[in-house]
Amino acid sequence: MAAANDDEILEGFLCPICKADLKSASQLTSHFESLHSEEQDVLKSLKDIFGKAKKIILNNDDNDLKETFDRALKLNYQEQAYYHSQEQVVGVSRSSTDYFKAVRSARLERYATETNKLLIRLDKLVCNMPTDQNMRKQHEQEVVPWLDGSSVKLCPNCAKAFNITRRKHHCRLCGSILCHDCSVFLDLNIARAIVDPSAPKSTEQQDPETLEKTGLRLCEHCYNLVELRKQVQDSRNAKTVLVTAYEQMRSLMEQARPAVAMYEKMCQSLFDGETTYNLTDVNAMRGRIGKLAEGIDLLSKQIAAHPADPGTRQARLQNAIRQAAAHYIKEDLLSLRKLPTEAQIEEVRRQRYERAERQIQAERQRMEREAATQAAGPSAPSDNHQDDDDDPLLEQMNIIRGYIKEARKELRFEEVAILEANLKELKKEYQFQKLSSKS
């Protein structure tokens, strides 16, 4: 069964110069120091390698300790059962959402008609607004007739008397009368953006003086309705760089979850001595999780570095996202169980193989015994031996092997598992065919 490789790989503590097998790391080091001391560079790298090896050994020791801690600190199975035995359903809750929304929509409908009326007027006002002051005034009054103010003595809003210094003004949206102090001014650019959300937004803020000259004079009531409309619009379009980065990060986390589960499954399969996956597969999977972790790390750092005034909610939010991501990476992505070594895998596979061999052996002996009791008739030597290459089963198996190779390359390990299972079935069938053709 063991296929002989062309170039045999030597194993053990071999001297890189004279290829002598020295049996242990310390012997190799001393051999090297005494016999090849002129090759200082090699010596140094050798020491480095042993240093690393030592670290790995120590790490294993850590694992051991971790088990000790777990045993002492974590609940054992029995205690766990006591803690989590009772199944429990989520408690009673009651929704008032329907009632809430009924009240809200009744109220908002009134607002909505009023707001719509104002928006239509606003649209007419800003569209074709003349730049000339007198023409503009005329245009404004054509859209919204102004209230006749001759009999009005007091500002309806603040109840102060009109006189030479406190003159009468009109709200451009409802035409009502008000004093200057009670007026609010709406930037024309903003007004345009409200009636046409697709229009390019200017972000520059006008200073109060220019605003009073060029903006639309409004009463507080009209201003609030229009402003509300603007806020609703803004929040709809508020998908910022930050949100995009966050969504990307979460999507990586979504991908990582099944990847980790797959890795654990593959790892277990290796430890169980199955041949569905090989060490390279599992390493590739580990690499992929590492990549995802890197991506999450990078995006969360970007989020944390996003400009925000220190101490604000925004700054706290960004830090918290980073903290959560770091915790997630550490707990879920970097605490993956260690892969077995080639030697360990060889060992379990060998054990598994031996078990299987023994079973086959026992089966064969049983069959032979049965055959012997069935009065050994002359068994005709079968001559219909098929040529291996023409067997359709073999061909199929080769095709599947090709698929497996491809799926492996693209890290589609779910598929690998299915294909491997198929392959196993085919092998079984092929063997069965061979057996039956022999007998």
Partner 1 sequence: MNVIQAVKMYITKMTEESGPGMKVILMDKETTSIISMVFSQSEILQKEVYLFERIDNLSKWDNMKHMKCIVFVRPTSENIALLSRELRQPKYGVYFIYFSNVISKSDVKTLAECDEQETVREVHEVFADYLAVDRHLFSFNIVGCMHGRSWNQNHLQRCSQGLLALLLSLKRRAVIRYDAASDGCARLAERLRDLLRREAALVDNNVPLTGDVPTPIVLILDRMDDPVTPLLNQWTYQAMVHELLTINNNRVSLAHAPDVPKDFREVVLSSEQDEFYAKNLYSNFGEIGQTMKLLMDEFQKKAKSHQKVETIEDMKNFVETYPLFKKMSGTVTRHVTVVGELSSMVAKHNLLDVSELEQEIACQSDHAKHLQRIKALLGTESVRHHDALKLVLLYALRYHAHASSALPALLDALNARGCPEPKRVLLALELAAARTRSEDLFRMMNPQNITKRLFKGLNGVENIYTQHTPLLKDTLEDLIKGKLRENLYPTLGGDDSGYGRRPQDIIVFMVGGATYEEALSVHQINQAYPGVRVVLGGTTIHNSTSFFEEVKSAMQGVHRTHTRHIKNV
Binding site for partner 1 (CB under 8 A): 61-62, 64-66, 68-69, 72-75, 79, 83, 86, 88-97, 99-104, 107-108, 111, 228, 231-232, 234-235, 238-240, 242-243, 246, 250, 312-314, 316-317, 320-321, 323-324, 327-328
Query: Is residue 298 within the footprint of Zn ion (CB under 5 A)?
Result: no
The item of Zn ion, partner 1, none sharing an interface with residue 293, based on CB under 5 to 8 Å by kind, is none
Cβ burial of 216 (10 Å; 0-12, 13-18, 19+) is: buried
Site for Zn ion in 153-182 (CB under 5 A): 155, 157-158, 171, 173-174, 179, 182
The values of phi and psi at residue 185, to 5°, are: -110, 135
| 134-141 LR contacts (CB < 8 Å, sep 24+) | 140/172
The item of partner 1, Zn ion, none sharing an interface with residue 90, based on CB under 5 to 8 Å by kind, is partner 1
Comparing CB distances to partner 1, the nearer of 311 and 377 is 311
Cα 175–chain centre separation: 55
The item of Zn ion, partner 1, none sharing an interface with residue 104, based on CB under 5 to 8 Å by kind, is partner 1
- The amino acid occupying position 138 is Q
Q: Which residue has the tokens 């790892």?
A: 267
The item of Zn ion, partner 1, none sharing an interface with residue 234, based on CB under 5 to 8 Å by kind, is partner 1
Closest CA to 329 of 292, 284, 286, 287: 292
Q: Please compute Rg for the chain using Cα positions.
A: 41
The item of partner 1, Zn ion, none sharing an interface with residue 223, based on CB under 5 to 8 Å by kind, is none
Q: Token pair for residue 213?
A: 């000259």
- The amino acid occupying position 218 is L
The item of Zn ion, partner 1, none sharing an interface with residue 79, based on CB under 5 to 8 Å by kind, is partner 1
DSSP 87: -
Comparing CB distances to partner 1, the nearer of 99 and 384 is 99
> Considering the complex, what minimum distance in angstroms separates the CB of residue 205 from partner 1?
15
Comparing CB distances to partner 1, the nearer of 197 and 402 is 197
Comparing CB distances to partner 1, the nearer of 14 and 108 is 108
Comparing CB distances to Zn ion, the nearer of 104 and 117 is 117
Handedness of CA 260, 262, 263, 269 (dihedral sign): positive
> Considering the complex, what minimum distance in angstroms separates the CB of residue 219 from Zn ion?
3
The item of Zn ion, partner 1, none sharing an interface with residue 203, based on CB under 5 to 8 Å by kind, is none
# chain residues binding Zn ion, by CB under 5 A: 13
Q: Token pair for residue 43?
A: 């010596």
| 317-325 LR contacts (CB < 8 Å, sep 24+) | 318/242, 321/246, 321/249, 324/300, 325/249, 325/296, 325/297, 325/299, 325/300
Please give the helix or strand (H or E) that residue 169 lies within, else none: strand 169-170
Question: What mask of x and - would describe binding to Zn ion in positions 197 to 226, judged by CB under 5 A?
Answer: ----------------------x--x----
> Considering the complex, what minimum distance in angstroms separates the CB of residue 168 from Zn ion?
10
Closest CA to 177 of 220, 141, 147, 218: 147
Question: Of these, 12, 14, 17, 66, which contacts Zn ion (CB under 5 A)?
Answer: 17
> Considering the complex, what minimum distance in angstroms separates the CB of residue 236 from partner 1?
9
Please give the helix or strand (H or E) that residue 195 lies within, else none: helix 188-195
Coil/strand/helix, residue 354: helix
Comparing CB distances to partner 1, the nearer of 144 and 184 is 184
Q: Please report, as ranges, the residues that interact with Zn ion according to CB under 5 A.
A: 15, 17-18, 155, 157-158, 171, 173-174, 179, 182, 219, 222
